[in-house]
Structure 1
Amino acid sequence: MTKACDEARRLGAWIDDYQPIPGVPDEMIGPDGRPRPHWSTLLDTLAQLGDDGVDQRFAAAARRINDMGVTYRVHGEARERLWPLGRMPLLLTEAEWREIEAGIAQRAELLDLILRDIYGPGRLVTEGALPAAAVAGSLEFVRPMRGVEPLGGRWLRFYAAEIGRGPDGKWWVLGDRAQAPSGAGYALENRLVLARAFPSLYREMNVRRLAGFFRDFRAGLVAAAARPDPRICLMTPGSWSETYSEQVYLARYLGFLLVEGEDLVTTEGKLHVRTVAGLKRADAVWRRVDADWCDPLEANAASRLGVPGLFDTLRQGAVAMANMPGAGLVESRALMSFLPGLSRRLLGEDLRLSNIATWWCGQEAERAEILRAIDDRAIAAAFSDTMDSLGGARVALGAELEPARRAALIRAINERGMDYVGQEIVQLSTTPAYCAGGLTPRPFALRVFAAATPDGWTVMPGGFCRVSDRRDARAVSMGAGAQSADVWVIGEKPAESATLLPARGETRVVRIPGNLPSRAADNLFWMGRYLERAEATLRVVRCLCNRLTDPQSTAMEGRQPIERCERLLIACGVAAPTGLRHPGAAIAFAASSDAGSHGSALAVVLQAKRAASIIRERLSQDVWQLIGRLELRLQRLASKTPLEAEILESAERSLHTLAALSGLMVENFNRVAGWAFLDLGKRIERAINTSRFARHFADADPTMDTLDALLELIDSQISYRSRYLAGAALAPTLDMAMLDPFNPHSVGFQARRIDEHLAALPALLDDGMMEPQRRLAIALRAELEAEDARRLDAARILVIEQRVMALADVIADRYFSRGGDNAPADKRSKLA
């Protein structure tokens, strides 16, 4: 068989059953019924791998998505879903991309000019080029922004357009995104996942790289800021945002500070970040919070996502923002009908990429046209995504409406036409999607991104592609059930390397990576506490199960450690279920895996994961992956009715995972403020837990068995036996648990480490006075160093435990925002 015949056979295995939809353009199959040339290399590579090879590559890609923590959240859902990356990319030639690129850059410039006029001189309205109702009718018209001159001169700095190919083969703009466009981070993550699955294929096909686009966007924000070495923030709505995973990734990738509204404060007309070192100047903000929620003083007063006074800092030119509040105005469908004329007026040229035909029903002639041809049009809200008169849907297709709804809609258009637009129904072109072991055509929409730079607009060579799960999706109704696809722009020559790293000598050397926001410090602190709390619970479970499976321990003389473990777990908030053959086993089972018991290891791990998710940009993928493994192991235990030995095995393996997680953080976490708060949380929680262990197992009437259990809980049996030939005695055991400065589990060791961390953290004032948290830490450390183990009893240990808890509260009051301002009122505070 010749090489040509062999290649034809392999290609046939992929495309023989592929049938494009009649009358609809297909990205892979040309008008001649054959694959387009730029698809042949991809199809041939997949055919050479075979079904098993392709499955293996994409199974690895799915694992990488899980390991990277690439997720999204459907509106209204509490849980996150794994990112749905499809197997087949969308391929576009460089020649075709140049046309798209020019059209998107032109459109971004046009929309920026429109925003400058609307919020500035207002000539478009006063001269009749744009009806006032088409502007003022939009909920995104932010009146407090009238007359504001943005720092850097641009209203629009990051723009996205939804485009699709229509039946005529041309690309059409389906919608504009300027409020807070999402998807760029997911596009980048798609690329990283597929590039690892097919590394050589990217090089062979000259796929253009994405890093240069993000580098240029960052350079644009730097140039717009007032200071030469600006602090740039990505302002997120928080961990409940539908695209929080993307925001975390972009902040980490670009080196921006991820902040929420409570992390920011306006002072003396400037925007500052609350940090553990006081207030630090914020010079530029990439906004992912909708404009109405940005400033409760001048927008939505109910907002907890914004920053009081933010609009005033923009008026004073104190901060650069992408995009300015009010930029979302250009997303309205009403405006789309005027863009062709506005392009000729403002740019002196026609649109390179046309809109889908749109008629705004706020004009008499256009309203009459839509009502005349309503069966051939899609009706949509002019200024919002949905309307009650459309049944809560994004669009209504006139020909598919029931008579009663159709009549109600016509009546609503006649009564208040300005709230509606009519649009041409355009069926999208299709691209191959991998379904049930083969390729099938599916409609898609492509979101393309443009960023303002000092040299004009730059367009991402690729984009965020959504592929429908239905064959007959229409341009205006596509959305739910879509998968994502990587977008490959196939270059005519090898792709140039691109990186976000600056050229040598362009940046100064620093060793402290910025200042830690108070909210991040809070979550790092509690992540450390929760992980240590989970470890303590699992140590008690292991201690209990070790004795439940030992016949001598269950005898009458060995019952004390079992009973004390049970009491300790119940005191920590574990409710024992029924159904296991031994009540101790039932308590151990609940303490390990009952998510409904607030003190269980699983419940505490879920809390740790929640805290970690808020600071995900500061954690490595390995840390996130290990927390996920710990959660999964405990959830698996919860799904069965285990024996004591199975509970013991689960506890031991979970402790191994926690040990790996602790070692990873010790070895790989940079020793700056973030590490200090993570370790502070761990040390405080360990001091509290060790004190509780000592009170429960070394009280006024201990036995050798209870003291041995205490040594097991603090992982000190080997150390004890190396020092003392006799069995466990009260004073030596208490010394090892409470005072020994060389034992990593003793309270004394924790007090020393806590004091060292607090000594290294920045002070708010340069007055030489010691802050309250440091005073408490020094007093606690000195007290433990001077203490005699022979004088310790349960009451004295409880006092020490309470002092550690009081120290934790003082640390929280000093360093964590708690909704207040953590900067001192006088002028000696550090404002930078």
Structure 2
Amino acid sequence: DLGRGPDGRWWVLDDRAQAPSGAGYALENRMVLSRAFPNLFNAMNVQRLAPFFSDFRAGLAASAHRSDPRICLLTPGPFSETYFEQAHLARYLGLLLVEGDDLVVRDGQAYIRTIAGLKRADVIWRRVDADFIDPLEMNSASQLGVPGLFEAIRAGGVVVSNMPGSGLIESRALLGFLPALSNHLLGEPLKLPNVATWWCGQPAERRIVEQQINSLAIARAFTGPGHPALARGPRMMSDLTPAEQADLRAAMNLRPLDFVGQEVVRLSTTPAWRDGALQPSPFVLRVYAAATPDGWKIMPGGFCRVSDQRDARAISMGEGAQATDVWVLSDQPVESISLLAHRDNVKVRRIMGHLPSRAADNLFWLGRYLERAEATLRLVRSLSTSLMDSDAALHASGETLCRLQALLIDWGAIDKEAGSRKVTEAACSALHDEAAYGSVVSLIRSARRTASSMRERLSEDFWKLLLNLESRLRNRQNDVLTEAESLARAEAALQTLATLSGLTQENMNRVAGWRFLDMGRRIERGVNTCRIVRQLAGPDATLDDLDLLLDLVDSQITYRSRYLEGIALTPVRDLTILDPFNPRSVAFQVETLKTHLAALPTLQDDGMPEEPSRQLIRLASLVETEDAAALGVPEILTFEQMLMTLSNAVSDRYFLQGSNATPTKKQGGLA
């Protein structure tokens, strides 16, 4: 981190070597600015960032022990404040984004848990602090790391970029020694001076800090937990309460070696556009260096934070700061370079790739949540039309309406109390009640949380649509809606879900990730169809019940064109359960699931079907041989239960957790 003083001199404010953030934000800022002002960007001869990242990726690959290494970016997970950056970098660089649970150590080597078993991890770019990467040897309470990772590092079984221990140079205590170390080891002064720092572990320096304590910034000498008053970085005594000041002084007297005093740097300014005018704003520039096969390379740019406070000091830059792009200009036109540039030596590949088990799990449940939300919205739409004067409306009272509300209660979209209220109140509750686990807003929130764990695998269009849908449904449970308003909201949400479904069907490659997403949808759709048919197509079903059933499973047009005689129980059951040509029927979901499972990898090459395939074969045989005239509620319940059993079998087989990760056999060893 660099700052420029009012006299124009540059100072090193801090060093980041353990899990440095900001490079991804710099890349994102560059993409935005270059697209917003393409003519200006090209005319100014701005040096590209792509060569730096290309060299960095080449450095990661060169550090591995084999020619085609598998490189991972180890992230703390979606709750990290820099997770977006990590997902963006993983996608841009073509790295595998993994969390600690995705990795396992066996015989001194690190492996990734995938749907095809364990696959070797050659290089790990670490974005997790060293204290948390191995609970066996460091912080035992850590849930972010990989047990045994230090063993694999010592055995040479994996290369970790930002090696544990690199955080040493982040210790502010070291800043006080750098000028003398440079002269002693290199015979020359520092290229850039660092902020004057006095380590209180030395008697003379401690006295200086005590004498000037009100004019210096007090900071932790070393990384890791320290005094609570300094948890957010260096602080001035004047910024603390009297109680905090007394507590900090007592801690400094007890263990002075844990503290440093630093000169307070006043930052020069750069023009920033605020409130319709250019205003002077202090800034801090973060620059990056990467080890590459050709030596150290410096990013021709950086991550700049601009403060909205005119008198900002370096110690408070993290508060109220905004980011901006940094341009390094060339005297000559700059060649357009991208990581996607054409290279003749790239080998063509058409493979499914190795999908991590966690990603498969999240994609599977993303599909289930979205399908469940769609089914609930169809119930809400039918409920909203129940009192409207239209041909599609149901009777305003009677068994059909009661069964419709019973479905919403059984699915957790509304409670029994809401079901006894007005229809409009029940519809609003099913849409917006955040306390109901089965309401539409709760299901969409669950889908968004699941999707946030794998943002690198979802397009920006998909993510924006999902966020927009959640924002439209959130904090609206107190709205008073008419039938038309609740219907309009349900219709709008259904249109968004249809768009999301179209994006996944038309834009996602037909690889393992898409298959798990679609498998989740197919299983959920089959289960929901069984539940709806059991509720509305029982032995005592009325014409209204069957008409509503055809609406809910989107089969009205097919039925009307096929059966001119009118609605009858057996044809309705056949169309919704047994018809393999109806994309909403249970039979169609079963056939699609058979295709997906057949395309997924197996752990054993013995020719025997695995448990999910066995479960699906049993279900398919029952569905394919069932007679529509003999099909009743008990048989439909059996189909539903077998679909749930299939879901559990898929989870047990592909979503590996803990010690049950089974290595895959390949030429007698691990791949």
TM-score for both structures, normalised by structure 1 = 0.77
Superposed counterparts of 1:700-711, under 5 Å: 700-711=539-550
Shift of the 527–175 alpha-carbon distance from structure 1 to 2, 3 Å rule, reads same
Corresponding residue pairs, total: 671
C-alpha distance in 2, partners of 1:805/1:581? 30
Tell me what 1:236 maps to. Answer: 75
Q: Deviations over 1:249-269 (max 9, x none)?
A: 111111000111111011121
Amino acid of the residue matched to residue 316 of structure 1?
Answer: A
Q: How far apart are residue 409 of structure 1 and its match?
A: 4.9
Shift of the 828–584 alpha-carbon distance from structure 1 to 2, 3 Å rule, reads farther
Q: Deviations over 1:232-261 (max 9, x none)?
A: 001111111111111111111110001111
- Out of 212, 215, 218, the position equivalent to 1:373 is 212
C-alpha distance in 2, partners of 1:726/1:401? 83
Tell me what 1:223 maps to. Answer: 62
Tell me what 2:169 maps to. Answer: 330
Q: Deviations over 1:203-224 (max 9, x none)?
A: 1222221111111110000000
Tell me what 1:173 maps to. Answer: 12
Aligned 8 A contact 1:465 1:485 in 2: yes
Shift of the 379–708 alpha-carbon distance from structure 1 to 2, 3 Å rule, reads same
C-alpha distance in 2, partners of 1:578/1:625? 35
Tell me what 2:333 maps to. Answer: 494
Tell me what 1:575 maps to. Answer: 414
- The answer to whether 1:251 aligns with 2:90 is yes
Aligned 8 A contact 2:519 2:596 in 1: yes
Tell me what 2:378 maps to. Answer: 539
Aligned 8 A contact 1:637 1:650 in 2: no
Q: How far apart are residue 638 of structure 1 and its match?
A: 4.2
- The answer to whether 1:831 aligns with 2:670 is yes
Aligned 8 A contact 2:219 2:230 in 1: no
The alignment partner of 2:549 has SS state of: helix
Tell me what 2:307 maps to. Answer: 468
C-alpha distance in 1, partners of 2:185/2:227? 36
C-alpha distance in 2, partners of 1:270/1:416? 40
Tell me what 2:601 maps to. Answer: 762
C-alpha distance in 1, partners of 2:444/2:543? 33
The alignment partner of 2:503 has SS state of: helix
Aligned 8 A contact 2:387 2:395 in 1: no
C-alpha distance in 1, partners of 2:50/2:211? 49
- The answer to whether 1:352 aligns with 2:207 is no
C-alpha distance in 2, partners of 1:220/1:805? 47
Aligned 8 A contact 1:765 1:828 in 2: no
- The answer to whether 1:446 aligns with 2:289 is no
Q: Deviations over 1:8-39 (max 9, x none)?
A: xxxxxxxxxxxxxxxxxxxxxxxxxxxxxxxx
- Out of 303, 317, 321, the position equivalent to 1:482 is 321
Tell me what 1:725 maps to. Answer: 564
Q: How far apart are residue 770 of structure 1 and its match?
A: 1.1
Tell me what 2:36 maps to. Answer: 197
The alignment partner of 1:271 has SS state of: strand
Tell me what 1:270 maps to. Answer: 109
- Out of 664, 671, 680, the position equivalent to 2:510 is 671
C-alpha distance in 1, partners of 2:664/2:519? 27
Tell me what 1:420 maps to. Answer: 259
C-alpha distance in 1, partners of 2:365/2:235? 48
C-alpha distance in 2, partners of 1:579/1:186? 46
Aligned 8 A contact 1:371 1:410 in 2: no
- The answer to whether 1:306 aligns with 2:154 is no
Amino acid of the residue matched to residue 624 of structure 1?
Answer: W
C-alpha distance in 1, partners of 2:374/2:393? 25
Shift of the 212–550 alpha-carbon distance from structure 1 to 2, 3 Å rule, reads same
C-alpha distance in 1, partners of 2:668/2:604? 6
Shift of the 792–352 alpha-carbon distance from structure 1 to 2, 3 Å rule, reads same
Q: How far apart are residue 340 of structure 1 and its match?
A: 1.7
- Out of 411, 420, 423, the position equivalent to 1:584 is 423
Superposed counterparts of 1:645-664, under 5 Å: 645-664=484-503
Q: How far apart are residue 574 of structure 1 and its match?
A: 2.5
Gaps of 5+ in 1: 1-161
Q: Percent identity?
A: 57
Q: How far apart are residue 196 of structure 1 and its match?
A: 1.9
Q: How far apart are residue 690 of structure 1 and its match?
A: 0.4
Aligned 8 A contact 2:285 2:303 in 1: yes
Aligned 8 A contact 1:387 1:394 in 2: no
Tell me what 1:89 maps to. Answer: none
C-alpha distance in 2, partners of 1:684/1:798? 14
- Out of 400, 404, 407, the position equivalent to 1:565 is 404
Aligned 8 A contact 1:764 1:830 in 2: no
The alignment partner of 1:765 has SS state of: coil
Aligned 8 A contact 1:544 1:561 in 2: no
C-alpha distance in 2, partners of 1:555/1:630? 28
Tell me what 2:618 maps to. Answer: 779
Q: Deviations over 1:344-365 (max 9, x none)?
A: 3333432111101111111122
C-alpha distance in 2, partners of 1:283/1:652? 49
Aligned 8 A contact 2:116 2:664 in 1: no
Superposed counterparts of 1:147-166, under 5 Å: 162-166=1-5
Shift of the 347–505 alpha-carbon distance from structure 1 to 2, 3 Å rule, reads farther
Shift of the 342–570 alpha-carbon distance from structure 1 to 2, 3 Å rule, reads same
Alpha-carbon RMSD across the aligned residues, in angstroms, is 2.3
Superposed counterparts of 1:687-706, under 5 Å: 687-706=526-545
C-alpha distance in 1, partners of 2:79/2:546? 46
C-alpha distance in 2, partners of 1:580/1:801? 25
Shift of the 341–496 alpha-carbon distance from structure 1 to 2, 3 Å rule, reads farther
The alignment partner of 1:431 has SS state of: strand
Q: How far apart are residue 577 of structure 1 and its match?
A: 9.5
The alignment partner of 1:432 has SS state of: strand
Tell me what 1:87 maps to. Answer: none
- The answer to whether 1:211 aligns with 2:24 is no
Aligned 8 A contact 1:773 1:811 in 2: yes
Amino acid of the residue matched to residue 255 of structure 1?
Answer: G
The alignment partner of 2:499 has SS state of: helix
Q: Deviations over 1:787-811 (max 9, x none)?
A: 0111111122111100100000000
Deviates more, 1:592-601 or 1:273-282: 592-601
Shift of the 555–312 alpha-carbon distance from structure 1 to 2, 3 Å rule, reads closer
Amino acid of the residue matched to residue 43 of structure 2?
Answer: E
C-alpha distance in 1, partners of 2:239/2:611? 70
Amino acid of the residue matched to residue 301 of structure 2?
Answer: G
Amino acid of the residue matched to residue 800 of structure 1?
Answer: F
C-alpha distance in 2, partners of 1:358/1:818? 47
Aligned 8 A contact 2:604 2:665 in 1: no
Shift of the 552–233 alpha-carbon distance from structure 1 to 2, 3 Å rule, reads closer
C-alpha distance in 1, partners of 2:119/2:463? 29
- Out of 163, 169, 181, the position equivalent to 1:342 is 181
C-alpha distance in 1, partners of 2:432/2:59? 50
C-alpha distance in 2, partners of 1:228/1:193? 35
C-alpha distance in 2, partners of 1:407/1:784? 76
Deviates more, 1:499-508 or 1:658-667: 499-508
- Out of 384, 387, 412, the position equivalent to 1:548 is 387
Aligned 8 A contact 1:413 1:420 in 2: yes
Q: How far apart are residue 827 of structure 1 and its match?
A: 8.5
Shift of the 633–167 alpha-carbon distance from structure 1 to 2, 3 Å rule, reads closer
C-alpha distance in 2, partners of 1:278/1:698? 43
- The answer to whether 1:182 aligns with 2:21 is yes
Q: How far apart are residue 465 of structure 1 and its match?
A: 1.1
- Out of 121, 124, 127, the position equivalent to 1:285 is 124
Amino acid of the residue matched to residue 680 of structure 1?
Answer: M
Shift of the 516–391 alpha-carbon distance from structure 1 to 2, 3 Å rule, reads closer
The alignment partner of 1:306 has SS state of: coil
